[in-house]
Structure formats: structure tokens, C-alpha cells
Chain A
Amino acid sequence: MEKAIKKYFPIFVLPTMIAFTIGFIVPFLYGIFLSFCKFTTVVDWEWVGLSNYLKIFFVNGELDTTFIHSLWYTALFTIVSVVIINVVSFIIAMALTKGIRGTNIFRTVFFMPNLIGGIVLSYIWLMLFNSVLSHFSKTIVSSEWYAFWGLIIVVCWQQIGYMMIIYVAGIQNIPGELIEAAKIDGANAFQILKNVTLPMLMPTITVCTFLTLTNGFKLFDQNMALTGGNPGKMSQLLALNIYDTMYGTTGWQGVGQAKAVIFFILVAIISLAQNKLTTSKEVQD
């Protein structure tokens, strides 16, 4: 059979591969190449070696902290959002698996914001934030910390419902006999949670943690629409900082591309760590 199928390569694989080459392979490889060049379009490149990478941190011999600030700001944002989203969605999931009345409606409501895209979502909240803050003569971009918590609220509203769905499925997969056995052995609610539920949920927790981790790290739309990086680039997360470098200042495309390469390496490290953690868990099972 394999032989018969083999001849059909052009029909089965070629369309996808051509698009994949245009949409991914060539842009990716050429992107790495361009990070070592000075350019304004893809044809006028001039090799400059590592100078773009140096320019990320040093401009005219002086230390430029914009990128490092954005890196720390992103890291902090990611950690805070991961913790809040996972803890809250876990608590909601626990409550919604107790068989209370109206569970399905609550689930529907909590999940709803997830389908609304980042741009629409951000303008909903921009209106609410700014109208409330205007009573105190402030806006969401009055300081980088207003922007920070504004972004946190938006991503929590968007992602808690999504993670809750995954936690609910995880909790429902725990065999009821385990909980029953623990109860008969005299364990209280807290002991059951700590010694039965949480260990059994580890695979789910890993998945949710990494989903929120990469979502936080790669956040762009909400950042652009809600704060635009203001005040003065102080609330730029990494993705927006790269975009701003690439399209905000002419002649800096190369530096933007170099930042993108660093960004890619960071995201790849997170993804590989996830892969390692999940596969090692599967082996144990």
C-alpha cells in the first residue's frame, strides 16, 4: 500500500509544503540571516555581523535599558498572570465539579470572554478602566503599574474560563473511589486536596501552567490596544517592544529582527522545558 500512496506526493503533500515554505521555512531562515544585517526591505541588506545584537543593549556607547526593562516587565507580568489565572480557575473548577445547580450555565458564562479576541476585549476594558480612573484624574497609562494591573485583569478575564474548562476535565478524571477511600480513612477536606486531588491533577496543572506561561510571554494584541506601551514604552511587553523597534523607527529593522531571534530562543526554551516535563510525567504513568 505504501508504494501506491508514495506516488501521490504532489497531490497530498506538496500544497501544504509550498505554503509552509512560503509561510514559515523561508521567512524563518531569512529572518535569522537578516538579524545580522542592516536593511529596510528584504532585498537591500548589508552584512553588519553582531552589531544589531549589540545595539539592543548599547546605543552610541551608552547602556540602553528599554529591552531589559521590557524583559523584566514581561517576566513579572507572566508570573503574576500564571499564578492568578491558575489559582482562580482551579478554585472555580473545584466548586463547579461539586454538582451544584446551574453548573452548565456558570461554565458557559466563565468561558465566554475567551472567544472574544484581544483587540475587542481590550477596548471593552479600556472604556471601563478609563471612565472609573477619570474620577481620580488618572488613566490606565498614568503609570506602568496601572498598565500592568490593567493588563492582568484583561488576561485573567480572558483566560480563567479556558483554564477552568481544562481543570474541570482533569478533576472529573480523578476516580471517585480514591476520594471515597481517603474519606473512609478519615482524611479531612484539606488532606484530600493536598494528598489526593493535587497529585492526581499534576498533568493538568502542567498543561495549564505552560499554556498560561506562553500566552503571557507572547501577549501582543491586548498590550497594543490597552496601553500601547505607554507611558513612554514603560508598559511594553517583549512582543510589542519588538514590533515597536521594527516598525517604529526606520533603520532599526535589523535590531528588531535581532530582538525577535532572542525572543524566539526564550520561547523555545519554555516550550522545550514543557515538553520535557510532560513526557517525563507520561513515562511515570
Chain B
Amino acid sequence: MAGKQEVSTVRRAKHSGLLTALFTVISLIWIAPLFLVLMNSFKKKAFIFRNPFSISANPLSDGWDAFVEGVERAFHGVTNYVNAIEMTDFFEAFGTSLFITVASVIVIIVCTSMCAWYITRVHNKVTKGIYMLCLFSMIVPFQMVMFTLSKFANMLKLSNPVGIVIVYLGFGAGLAVFMFTGFVKGIAVEIEEAAMIDGCNPLQTFFWVVFPILKPTTVTVAILQAMWIWNDYLLPSLVLNINKYKTLPIAIQFLKQSHGQLDWGAMMAVLVLAIIPIVAFYMVCQKYIIEGVLAGAVKG
């Protein structure tokens, strides 16, 4: 009996080691594209397409010296980065994206959590109607409203980074209100009643008592909306006055469209610059991101 058990543990351990090895290989292949982009961003553009899998202009089969010589020949220093930053106005686009994402997420969280609390606590036809409308908006694809929405936004002078926040609040409200109402329904009313009896008005009750309790959902909503807005291309490209303001995805797409022959060296560099902040953010907030994604998937 003891012997049998031992055999099975040994087998399991062996099995586990094999799986670990297998997954190490798969994981390396899985993120290889990111490393290839990083490597190619330091190569001259002529050598990117010739062999994106090698750091050198010469194959290793030509001997080590030729290989090293090839590395020097293909190496472009930070020239690609300088070109990319200049061609895309990278820092300006980055700033625009950052501003729009942060401002929209804050506005969405404050406004929709207030709205969600109100429509859950006040029962009448209007609040019920608002809730149904929010549910309905979640199934409408953006293409359905893109033309009219962008034209109205232009007419209302919302074609700038501040105005687009209102557009994001409007189009993102459905999901956010839905998720917040789901949570508010589970909060005991007694806590709020106690606060009101102690003399809080509804605003104080909401911000001092309810809003802190909402924290898990706030994190989820913030992460889902931030991922959406940061990466969104179509909405800002239609709503913003793109001669003046470009978000990061728009700037990258413009690099392809506006300079005739696409400079792949600059493209590699701008891709690296665009990926670094996302990876950094992911490393810092991984726990929240994964929890947020899970909660969003189950509810959405």
C-alpha cells in the first residue's frame, strides 16, 4: 500500500515536471512576437523583412564572425525610436490617450454609480425605464450609432479630448450602470437608513457610506472601461478632430496611412513604445485586472 502510493506520487511529480517543461516552451512561443518586435525595433528597416527572426544580417551558418558583423550591419541604434516619436508625435498622442482614458473612467465611475444607486433605491416607472434602456444599450453594436453619434458630437462641439469624455460616459453608461445596480441590490438598506437618520443628506450618504462599499465593483468597472477606452480606435477616430488630436491607436494607424511607403522600423519602435506602458500597468495591477475581467465576464 505504502509502496503503491509512493509510485503514484513519483509518477505525478514526473508528469508535473514534463508539463512544466512543455508549458515553458509554449509560453516562450506565446510571447515571442513581443520579443521579435522589440528586437526588430533596433534593426535597420531593410533587415526587418529579410529575416525578422534574427538579430543579424548574416545567417549563423556563415560562421560566428560573419554573424557578429551582420549584427553590426543590421543595428540601427535608437534611430527607429527617434523617427517614430517624431512621425507620430508620440508623446502628444500618449498624453491625449492618457487624459481621455483617466478622465472618462473617473467620470463614468462617479456618474454611473450615483445613477445606479438612485435607480435601485427609488422605485418608479422612470427608474425602471432607465434601467431597461441601459440593458438595451449593451446589445447595440457601435456601427449602429457611429455615423449619427459622430455628427452630433461635432455639432455639440464635443470633438476634443474634454468633449469625448461625455461621449464615452454616454456610450459606456449601459454596462457601468448595469454592473453597479447588480452590486447595490445586495447592500442592506439599513446602513443607509441609519446614516440618513443621523442627519446625512442623500449626497453625504452616498459618498460617505455607499461609495466605499462599492469598491470591488468600482475596480471592475474601472478596469473594463480603461481597457476599452485606451485601446479604442473607431470611436475617437470618428468623434475627435483628428487634425488636432490623436490618440495612440489613431497615431499608429496614421503612421501607416500618411507616409506613403510604411517605415517598418518606425512602426516596430512605436509598437514597443505603445506596449511598454500596458505591460507595466499589467505587472502592477495584475490581481485587480484578472479579478475585474472575471467579474465582468460573469456579469456581462
Please judge, given known A-B contacts A127-B48, A221-B233, whether A1 and B121 are in contact too, CB under 8 Å.
yes
Q: Let me know if A28 is at the binding interface, CB within 8 A.
A: yes
Instruction: Evaluate contact between B143 and A243: CB separation under 8 angstroms.
Output: yes
The CA of A119 and the CA of B201, in the complex, are separated in Å by: 47
Instruction: Evaluate contact between A98 and B271: CB separation under 8 angstroms.
Output: no
Q: Which residues of B contact A157 (CB under 8 A)?
A: 30, 33
Stretch in B66-74, B213-221, B289-297 touching the partner: B289-297
B275's partner among A17, A28, A116, A224 (CB-CB below 8 A) is A116
Q: Let me know if B193 is at the binding interface, CB within 8 A.
A: yes
The CA of A106 and the CA of B91, in the complex, are separated in Å by: 33
Please judge, given known A-B contacts A16-B177, A115-B278, A124-B271, whether A261 and B294 are in contact too, CB under 8 Å.
no
Instruction: Evaluate contact between B139 and A267: CB separation under 8 angstroms.
Output: yes
Q: Let me know if B94 is at the binding interface, CB within 8 A.
A: no
The CA of A130 and the CA of B262, in the complex, are separated in Å by: 13
Q: Let me know if B125 is at the binding interface, CB within 8 A.
A: no
Q: Let me know if B102 is at the binding interface, CB within 8 A.
A: no
Q: Let me know if B82 is at the binding interface, CB within 8 A.
A: no
Instruction: Evaluate contact between A109 and B167: CB separation under 8 angstroms.
Output: no
Q: Which residues of B contact A49 (CB under 8 A)?
A: none
Residues of chain B at interface, number, CB under 8 A = 98
Instruction: Evaluate contact between B121 and A5: CB separation under 8 angstroms.
Output: yes
The CA of A169 and the CA of B112, in the complex, are separated in Å by: 28
Q: Which residues of B contact A147 (CB under 8 A)?
A: none
Residue of B nearest to A239 (CB): B143
Q: Let me know if A220 is at the binding interface, CB within 8 A.
A: yes
- Interchain nearest-CB distance for B268 vs A (Å): 7
- Interchain nearest-CB distance for A219 vs B (Å): 11
A42's partner among B146, B152, B286 (CB-CB below 8 A) is B152
The CA of A243 and the CA of B115, in the complex, are separated in Å by: 33
Q: Let me know if A19 is at the binding interface, CB within 8 A.
A: yes
Q: Which residues of B contact A4 (CB under 8 A)?
A: 196, 201-202
B230's partner among A24, A102, A117, A239 (CB-CB below 8 A) is A117
The CA of A16 and the CA of B31, in the complex, are separated in Å by: 40
The CA of A46 and the CA of B1, in the complex, are separated in Å by: 86
Q: Which residues of A contact B192 (CB under 8 A)?
A: 1
Instruction: Evaluate contact between B202 and A12: CB separation under 8 angstroms.
Output: yes
Instruction: Evaluate contact between A207 and B234: CB separation under 8 angstroms.
Output: no
Please judge, given known A-B contacts A112-B279, A115-B282, whether A127 and B40 are in contact too, CB under 8 Å.
yes
Q: Which residues of B contact A124 (CB under 8 A)?
A: 33-34, 37, 271
Q: Which residues of A contact B208 (CB under 8 A)?
A: none
The CA of A102 and the CA of B167, in the complex, are separated in Å by: 43
8 contacts between A and B (CB under 8 A): A8-B203, A13-B114, A95-B19, A106-B23, A106-B26, A120-B275, A221-B231, A271-B139
Which A residues fall within an 8 A CB radius of B? 1-2, 4-6, 8-9, 11-13, 15-17, 19-28, 30-31, 34, 41-42, 95-96, 98-102, 105-106, 108-120, 123-125, 127-128, 130-132, 134, 157, 162, 165-166, 169, 207-208, 211, 218, 220-221, 224-225, 239, 242-243, 246, 253, 256-257, 260-261, 263-264, 267-268, 271-272
Enumerate the 8 nearest inter-chain pairs by beta-carbon distance, A residue then B residue, closest first.
Answer: A23-B170, A117-B231, A19-B170, A27-B145, A12-B118, A27-B148, A27-B149, A19-B169
